[in-house]
Structure 1
Amino acid sequence: MGQATGTYGGRSAQERRTERRERFLAAALQQFGDRPGYRAASVAGLCEEAGLSTRQFYEEFRNLEQVLAQLHLLVNDRTEQAVLRALTDTAGLTFEQRIGAVLRAYIAAATDDRRRLRIAFVEIIGVSEELERQRLTRRALWVQLIVAEAEAAVGRGEIAPRDFRIAATAFIGAVNGLLHDWTAGQFDATLAQVVDELVALLLGSVRRPGG
């Protein structure tokens, strides 16, 4: 479908489209991340939340799954930016100090809005093969980051060399499972308790068993 290209109200067509898209994503964050949840959401309900029309929705997205996919990427990008800042801020520290700070930055960014937490660890699960591939691709990037940090610590003589891929993959699976269950209310714990448990788990997972 063709798009208007002129200027209206002092804003270009692209600026108006960008604003519309952001309004749809903000509405989706509320509806998917809170109530009614992705599986009970509808295009009509999302449009009502955004204050926009269904015609405008279909100018931006194919369907609700594409909106969820975009939200999932945005949530991961936001968390990744927090982790990269922590990596920069902790340059020169020991591996244990560095990985603890990085994990705390990850958890803080992932959990500061329960709606984003739900998008990343609950609503994305089991939607479609395409979204599962997206989820696993982003998870693989987190595994690579842990492996890179562990191998750098080996180079500094802080930990013994080994193949860290299995340990890193197991740890990321544990993070996903723990945050999923915590978000779903499967157990009672404070955020600080969750963070401390994950820090201890990560530090233990990259050290050679029995070492």
Structure 2
Amino acid sequence: MLAGRLRAPTGRYGGKSAQERQAERHGRFLDAALQLFGDSPGYRSTTVAALSEAAGLSTRQFYEEFRTLEDVLAALHLQVNAWAEEAVLTASAATQGSPIDERATAIFRAYAGNVTADPRRIRITFVEIVGVSPRMEEQRLTRRARWVDLICAEAHAAAERGEAARRDYRLAATAFIGSVNGLIHDWSAGWVPATLDEVVDELVRQLLGILRPTGWRSGER
């Protein structure tokens, strides 16, 4: 065998490097997965051949990027969450120094607006990933824990400013994230007769109720 025969190509082709072409293929598979997994026929009814065809690529190219369709679902789930997290962090930065009720409204409006902008993202996040495998359950719960950490960080910062009670917020934040996911999913499915703004307002009221329990007074530390 010739030395170096199995090395990945590093030259440029069509003005793009090997790394750029690989990233483009990866993105095309994820775009196709968003359509097939997030709409029809869904993750469980999609084949490697169908996904490759939708991406305009070959099955050989699929196996150069992924081992299984579950790997694609995992990558897509992380990508959808990353989009939402970016929107949340942008809103958080834009409202730095604002009262907690204004920050909470901006943050949840950013999250809800990003997730619901494309119904396929909701299906990936709240439907298709559920019950796939122990690996996917671990990823789903790990990713949810990041949202819990974000809520806890906001709550503790508000407590330091005297805008919220001092307490351990992890249990409450975990319960609250469950409410967020459930309400947004049910709203997107048409089961909740409300506008998205009304959904956001309800979530903010719930969060403020957690931060400011009965008997708490503003400015207490």
Cα shift at 1:209: 4.7
Answering whether residue 146 of structure 2 is matched by residue 152 of structure 1, we say: no
Amino acid at match of 1:50: A
In 2, the alpha carbon distance for the partners of 1:41 and 1:179 equals 26
Asked if the contact 2:112–2:184 (Cα under 8 Å) also holds between the matched residues in 1, the reply is: no
Answering whether residue 185 of structure 2 is matched by residue 177 of structure 1, we say: no
**Within 5 A, what are the aligned runs for 1:8-47?**
8-47=13-52
Aligned to 1:69: 74
Which deviates more, 9-18 or 30-39? 9-18
Taking a change above 3 Å as real, the CA distance of residues 42 and 2 of structure 1, as seen in their structure-2 partners, is farther
Which deviates more, 33-42 or 11-20? 11-20
Larger radius of gyration: 2
TM-score of the pair, normalised by structure 2: 0.89
Sequence identity percentage = 63
Amino acid at match of 2:182: G
Cα shift at 1:161: 1.1
Unaligned 5+ segments in structure 2 are 1-5, 217-221
Unaligned 5+ segments in structure 1 are none
Aligned to 2:106: 101
Secondary structure of 1:163's aligned partner? coil
Cα shift at 1:2: 5.5
Secondary structure of 2:98's aligned partner? coil
In 1, the alpha carbon distance for the partners of 2:171 and 2:16 equals 51
In 1, the alpha carbon distance for the partners of 2:106 and 2:50 equals 40
Amino acid at match of 1:83: V
Taking a change above 3 Å as real, the CA distance of residues 98 and 187 of structure 1, as seen in their structure-2 partners, is closer
In 2, the alpha carbon distance for the partners of 1:50 and 1:28 equals 8
Answering whether residue 135 of structure 2 is matched by residue 122 of structure 1, we say: no
Amino acid at match of 1:205: I
In 1, the alpha carbon distance for the partners of 2:214 and 2:67 equals 48
Cα shift at 1:190: 2.8
Answering whether residue 170 of structure 2 is matched by residue 165 of structure 1, we say: yes
- Which 4+ runs in 1 deviate beyond 6 A? none
2:90 to 85, 94, 98: 85
In 2, the alpha carbon distance for the partners of 1:106 and 1:50 equals 28
Paired residues in the alignment total 211
Cα shift at 1:176: 1.6
1:165-193 per-position Cα deviation (integer Å, ceiling 9, x unaligned): 11111000111222233334444433223
Cα shift at 1:111: 1.1
In 2, the alpha carbon distance for the partners of 1:99 and 1:87 equals 9
Answering whether residue 56 of structure 2 is matched by residue 51 of structure 1, we say: yes
Aligned to 2:212: 207
Taking a change above 3 Å as real, the CA distance of residues 98 and 26 of structure 1, as seen in their structure-2 partners, is same
Secondary structure of 2:184's aligned partner? helix
Aligned to 1:137: 142
In 2, the alpha carbon distance for the partners of 1:38 and 1:183 equals 19
In 2, the alpha carbon distance for the partners of 1:3 and 1:184 equals 45
Asked if the contact 1:32–1:41 (Cα under 8 Å) also holds between the matched residues in 2, the reply is: yes
Taking a change above 3 Å as real, the CA distance of residues 39 and 2 of structure 1, as seen in their structure-2 partners, is farther
